[in-house]
A and B are shown apart, each in its own frame.
Chain A
């Protein structure tokens, strides 16, 4: 029982981590919170659902479809909601927050118009296959989710630390102007970051569909809010913080549902944020800046 719950928690945590990575990448480079990330993720999930359940294509193709859809939405988001604000000098740091909130509301209600408010079944072809290891049952779906999320996290870490583009991205995150002076095309880097983060959102969307077997137009909001909680918990802009925070949140939610008041499951994330902000405002893996404020 305990082990099975732990596996459920890690599976959920892996998905949370991927969602949170989308936020943390954009925050690290642009210094803004992309409130529309949850909704881009939701559209990724819907595209995946349409491909798997309605068009009957194999799962990997569905992943590619979701990635393509989410990435192009990221491109549009950057083009129409973020870049115009970057060009204006002296724009308040709240402007981009408000602008992305606008995009998120727009997308959520567009999904409501297109797909309706009900749940959509997300059928995974191998949803019934499971393994028995002693008394513990592991579903193939869970193993696949865990594998994919680990692969993505490892890939992202390698890309950021080893490749030229990854280094350029880190330089841009470190200091936009200096990176620009050193010959990094920062505008392209910023667009690339938003697109990559959105593509990861698309993958996360399909993973959520696989994990819960259904999706609706509200998962963007609920998963998005958790992603926000995780990046505050793990430290804004910290890649490893997002991974660790996602796993911790997934595990604690699963155990609260199993052994505690299940109704408060969705509140855990926020109680955590409030406590973290009070005790350690820079987050688990974040670095404190000079004046003590995050």
Chain B
């Protein structure tokens, strides 16, 4: 018995305390039974604790601390880590750069999410329409950009955006058009948004398309007998039924928007208009790895995580009764 406990303890760390709660320890069989599930769970628990729970708790801890330097700060022992209370949080929330990055991401989301989900829905409906041809090819062609890593696609688009090397600008030049650089202050948001839309439409389309495929064909027959057109079927039958999928893709897109990082970070060295704090996560990265201030970076990450959580859950709460309630009443 001891060996079992030791083994489970070593794996999960929780087994001994669990076994002590088992009222009868005198007989070996129940104790072994009680330990068995923990032994099976242990790998998952260990991984969860080591790679998710512990880092989150550690960054929570770091977010309340800071490093203080004394004098010139030269020589060993001149830096000490001290308790900092909520200062990291208050200064992050009062930081104009952080607020500007949040505003920017908000604008970015207003551009990306409707365009991306609108196109995804449109493509899904077109693919699902009875008369569409070359479905396999179209589906793969639209999905393919999702398989390209964001860093690669940003580099590719970056080339196309730079007037000096872009074939598009060469054509504009030949036509005598004066097209402003996409990296100019007014357009850079759309330049970044374009990459996200290009990469994201395919994934969302597949999610919606899969939901459309699950609709029983009797519904269409009934609608056609009632005299509905294809457009009418799409608007009145298909969209209401796949609404839960659309809501799910909306939540995913919203989270992706709040966490946008790879595209602007890759484009930054190519332009003058993307700052090192262009999005909230870029600011976290700069604080942690350029400035070496893990403490305020942790605080900002916690703020972003909480905001993401609240926004996603809040939105789901808001739409749940309408979208999913309908499904239940059916």
A complexed with B: no
Enumerate chain A interface residues (CB-CB to B < 8 A). Answer: none
Enumerate chain B interface residues (CB-CB to A < 8 A). Answer: none
